[in-house]
Amino acid sequence: MASSQVVKALIVDDNAMIRRIHMTMLFRFGFEITEVEDGKKAIDQFLDGNEYDLVLMDKEMPNMDGVEATRTLRGMGISTKIVAITTDSNSMGAFLDAGADEFILKPLNFPALADILKGFNFLN
């Protein structure tokens, strides 16, 4: 886990509305949130030395899509929990092969997110 007690999450999605919704859901758990709008910016966050406990990763994004970003992060040795969140049900295999820990279809609802976070032991 990142060094502080607070869970740090990175939201990666090119849709500002969806970032806002996911951010509000994670705020309810008291997480510290950073948001970026594509896979390349997500990689840059880690290259800049930032640490995260959780990444919520969309698939279709400009510059670098979520599958490629996931693969790149794992190639960099990043072991952060990555949850793929997308409307593309056909991308599950690609995401899991790339190293995602969980895959869930949009729209994300609060109970489903809570279940995933409990599974990662992020909730007390």
Partner 1 sequence: MASAPFKAQLTDLLNSMFAMDFLDEQFKELQMLEEASGPGFLTEVVTLFCGDAERIISQLDALLNEPAVDFGKVDANVHQLKGSSSSVGAKRVALVCIKFRNVCQENDKEGCIAALHEIRHEFDELRKKFQTMLQLEQQIQDLDSK
What does the binding site for partner 1 look like in residue numbers (CB under 8 A)? Answer: 15-18, 20-21, 24-25, 27-28, 60, 87-88, 106-110
- Decide whether 46 or 65 has the Cβ nearer to partner 1: 65
Which residue in this structure is represented by tokens 């640490």? Answer: 51
- Decide whether 3 or 124 has the Cβ nearer to partner 1: 124
Is 57:69 a contact under the CB 8 Å cutoff?
yes
- Decide whether 17 or 47 has the Cβ nearer to partner 1: 17
Which residue in this structure is represented by tokens 């970026």? Answer: 36
The token pair at 119 is 């599974």
What is the smallest separation between the CB atom of 15 and partner 1, expressed in angstroms?
A: 6
d(CA 26, CA 102): 16
